[in-house]
Structure 1
Amino acid sequence: MATVSADHYRDILLSDRPLIDLRSPVEFAKGAFPNSINLPLMTDQERAAVGTCYKKQGQMAAIELGHKLVQGKVKAQRQQAWSEFLERHPDAYLYCFRGGLRSQLSQEWIAETGHQRPYIEGGYKAMRSFLMAQTDTITEQAPMWIIGGMTGCGKTDFLKCRQDMVDLEGLANHRGSSFGRQITEQPVQIDFENALAVALMKHQQQHQQLVLEDESRLIGRVSLPLEMHERMQAAPLVLLEVSQHDRIERILKDYVTDMASAFIGRDGEELGYTNFQGHLLGALDRIQKRLGDQKYRQLRGIMEHALQRQPSGDLDGHRQWIDTLLQEYYDPMYRHQLEKRRQRVVFQGNHQDVHQWLDHKAGTQ
């Protein structure tokens, strides 16, 4: 039966080839590759039973038990699921954890449906190791520029205008602050790491320099690989400078009006707005200790009043708490952190100036 060797890992990942993940659902939920779908050979319970049998009675007894558990209608259902997917994606590859018995048996059963598909040698374990090595290599070798600036200066909007960037917050599905949670869930840690590695590999195909947003290691609940984050902390820092008015309006759009629209679009007018209010107030609650009791109560009162006025189109209350939060919380914290990194700053300016500066640097490499 055909296999795909480790020499093709790069091509598999860069081409976004469809992949059938044969592992159990609990294994898949812990992390998988982009463009993979979980069509398991065994359920979680079946896999657990076979694993226990393997430990107590050995491989042959475990294989025999596996065949007993997955036969007849159960086997036919799994064959049908594989066949239907392959009808839509005839170029898909298969993988299990190590490219062993599950891949081989699934490949045989798939062949019974008329589809001949190879499985990946080394399976999930080997290809993930390859991906993690790629992250280390690329972030070590690529000239790196880190885009910083005060909260609301539009770092994300700036990066979206560039081809030579990798969007860390987009991959993490989080804006990187207490207010940065999105309406949809973040990926699990391993999925984030795998997607990041693929994004870096694709970036490397076309660009020499790597432009990234200034991030703490944690972006929401997922964390950047340690070695990558350490390199980011040593890389040159480029600062965006934006007026206070523009910062307030950008935060108002991103975290208030757009987020309210997202909740209403998902949950309906009444429930959506209720859920949005809980989302916004919850973000403030998460920084209560750092704000201090008095400042927190003041800001929460302004925010609650603003939320009452928002449905009528009055957004000035939101502008008030945003302005206060920036001036009395985020900006002092940012200035304090910047002082410790001032020697890394190599350029600062508005969006246009920084774009031109980075374009010039790209042209000189």
Structure 2
Amino acid sequence: MRDNTRDYFSLFLNDIPLMDVRAPVEFDKGAFPNASNLPLINDDERHQIGICYKQKGQQAAIDLGNQLVRGQERERRMQAWRAWWQAHPHGYLYCFRGGLRSQTTQAWLREAGVDAPLVTGGYKAMRTFLLEEQEKCIAELPFEILCGRTGCAKTRVIETRSNAIDLEGLAHHRGSAFGRRPGGQPSQIDFENALAIALIKMRDRGYPTVLLEDESKLIGRCHLPFSLQDKIKSQPRIIINETLASRVQITLEDYVVGPLEEYQQHYGEQEALQRLGEELLSAMDRIKRRLGGLKHQQLRQLLEEALVVQAMSGDPELHREWIHSLLADYYDPMYDYMMSKREGKVVFEGSREEVSTFLQERHR
């Protein structure tokens, strides 16, 4: 029989599977990347038990819980737990504080001959651990910041480096007004948990530097920790320079062609282009005030025409017109302003290929 654990480092460094027996409403507010939600009690049962606890005390709440989860319903949950443990024999279970719910689940599984150790302190202790370690990592790790105008394919470079953290990947967002992706974004807590785990892993691997893409305080609706925002502004910079024509091509691929494939997987081929078009138009409308009324109207018309042609012929090439104008007249001035606020020294500057070679030679 394995012991219960409070070795949170090992749990997250090794991606140990976790069975979260909290109610779905708790799981949805915040959980861990390696956790599966198989609750002891559902949301409605939790609500009833909570009222009973306040009115009549703990034992009455326990009795009500046993009454609500019994017979076939108890067996159905037991079957799901047993199946999970068969698939994850080295896992652990947890509830909010490592108390009654996880202990009850552990006891029920033990009756069925299943060794199910739990995480001491539960979700609350693990969450506190991650937040504390996140701040330590941000303070300790030597970062380098990958900069470049929109369309330089910074994320593509990030994805090739073992010493890099893909912040936009963690946020499930491409990092601009046009960056929304089907499926939506994680909750703020889920984003923070995933970021903390990524930082802990980087520190454990002992890289001489950790590469991050230059980001503002928000990636979509996911908020970067204030300490990381400050670090990004001051750390050494590596800058990608690409021609406007090259950046138009990359933007076309990353914001029109690639997303269409993602929308097809999510919504099916018949709805994909319509859904993507609605999102692109909505993104254009979100920056209307900053573009100005006339410029917004012009770019929106170009986008609408490009979508009509693409729907009729499958050809996305007409999108280049609004992309070219948006990059040159909107995103480039915004980038210049942002760079004027950065303090870190420039350690290398070149094309995307040159930057990739520079990074590869430094970290062989």
Q: What is the TM-score of this pair, normalised by structure 1? A: 0.94
State the one-letter code of the partner of 1:117: A
Match of 2:285 in 1: 285
Which one is further off, 271-280 or 150-159?
A: 271-280
Deviations along 1:38-66, whole A, 9 cap, x unmatched?
Answer: 11111111112222222222222222222
Deviations along 1:100-129, whole A, 9 cap, x unmatched?
Answer: 111111100011222011111000000111
How large is the RMSD of aligned CA atoms in angstroms? 1.8
The secondary structure found in structure 2 opposite 1:280 is helix
Q: Compute the displacement of 1:344 (Å).
A: 4.0
Alpha carbons of structure 1 residues 11 and 283: separation in structure 2 relative to 1, 3 Å: same
Alpha carbons of structure 1 residues 38 and 342: separation in structure 2 relative to 1, 3 Å: closer
For residues 211-222 of structure 1, the aligned pairs below 5 Å read 211-222=211-222
Match of 1:180 in 2: 179
CA distance in structure 1 between the aligned counterparts of 2:221 and 2:340, rounded to whole angstroms: 27
CA distance in structure 1 between the aligned counterparts of 2:247 and 2:168, rounded to whole angstroms: 19
Alpha carbons of structure 1 residues 194 and 59: separation in structure 2 relative to 1, 3 Å: same
Match of 2:259 in 1: 259
Deviations along 1:221-277, whole A, 9 cap, x unmatched?
Answer: 111122222222221222110111110000011111122232234333332221121
Deviations along 1:142-189, whole A, 9 cap, x unmatched?
Answer: 111111111101110111121110100001100110111112221111
Alpha carbons of structure 1 residues 266 and 32: separation in structure 2 relative to 1, 3 Å: closer
For residues 28-177 of structure 1, the aligned pairs below 5 Å read 28-177=27-176
The secondary structure found in structure 1 opposite 2:165 is coil
The secondary structure found in structure 2 opposite 1:83 is helix
Contact 2:242 2:351 in 1 (8 A): yes
For residues 233-248 of structure 1, the aligned pairs below 5 Å read 233-248=233-248
Contact 2:233 2:344 in 1 (8 A): no
The secondary structure found in structure 2 opposite 1:86 is helix
The secondary structure found in structure 2 opposite 1:20 is strand
Contact 1:135 1:228 in 2 (8 A): no
Q: Compute the displacement of 1:136 (Å).
A: 1.1
* 1:349 equivalent in alignment to 2:350: yes
Count of aligned positions? 362
State the one-letter code of the partner of 1:127: M
Contact 2:27 2:37 in 1 (8 A): yes
Contact 1:98 1:126 in 2 (8 A): yes
State the one-letter code of the partner of 1:347: F
Contact 2:16 2:91 in 1 (8 A): yes
State percent identity of aligned pairs: 46
State the one-letter code of the partner of 2:199: L
Which one is further off, 271-280 or 337-346?
A: 337-346
Q: Compute the displacement of 1:358 (Å).
A: 4.1
Which one is further off, 326-335 or 271-280?
A: 271-280
The secondary structure found in structure 2 opposite 1:23 is coil
Alpha carbons of structure 1 residues 77 and 316: separation in structure 2 relative to 1, 3 Å: closer
Contact 1:209 1:362 in 2 (8 A): no
CA distance in structure 1 between the aligned counterparts of 2:65 and 2:268, rounded to whole angstroms: 47
Match of 1:230 in 2: 230
Match of 1:325 in 2: 326
State the one-letter code of the partner of 1:171: L
Q: Compute the displacement of 1:347 (Å).
A: 3.0
Which one is further off, 341-350 or 40-49?
A: 341-350
CA distance in structure 2 between the aligned counterparts of 1:2 and 1:63, rounded to whole angstroms: 27
CA distance in structure 2 between the aligned counterparts of 1:265 and 1:55, rounded to whole angstroms: 47
For residues 300-311 of structure 1, the aligned pairs below 5 Å read 300-311=300-311
CA distance in structure 2 between the aligned counterparts of 1:342 and 1:99, rounded to whole angstroms: 45
The secondary structure found in structure 1 opposite 2:318 is helix
Residue segments in structure 2 that go unaligned for 5+ positions in a row:
none
CA distance in structure 1 between the aligned counterparts of 2:249 and 2:357, rounded to whole angstroms: 24
CA distance in structure 1 between the aligned counterparts of 2:60 and 2:267, rounded to whole angstroms: 51
CA distance in structure 2 between the aligned counterparts of 1:350 and 1:156, rounded to whole angstroms: 14
Q: Compute the displacement of 1:69 (Å).
A: 1.8
State the one-letter code of the partner of 1:187: P
Contact 2:38 2:81 in 1 (8 A): yes
Which one is further off, 51-60 or 328-337?
A: 51-60
Contact 1:159 1:165 in 2 (8 A): yes
Alpha carbons of structure 1 residues 342 and 67: separation in structure 2 relative to 1, 3 Å: closer
Residue segments in structure 1 that go unaligned for 5+ positions in a row:
none
CA distance in structure 1 between the aligned counterparts of 2:64 and 2:270, rounded to whole angstroms: 53
CA distance in structure 2 between the aligned counterparts of 1:234 and 1:168, rounded to whole angstroms: 18
Q: Compute the displacement of 1:315 (Å).
A: 3.6
Q: What is the TM-score of this pair, normalised by structure 2? A: 0.94
Match of 1:210 in 2: 210
Alpha carbons of structure 1 residues 82 and 268: separation in structure 2 relative to 1, 3 Å: closer
Deviations along 1:20-48, whole A, 9 cap, x unmatched?
Answer: 10101100111111221111111111112
CA distance in structure 1 between the aligned counterparts of 2:84 and 2:332, rounded to whole angstroms: 51
Match of 1:12 in 2: 11
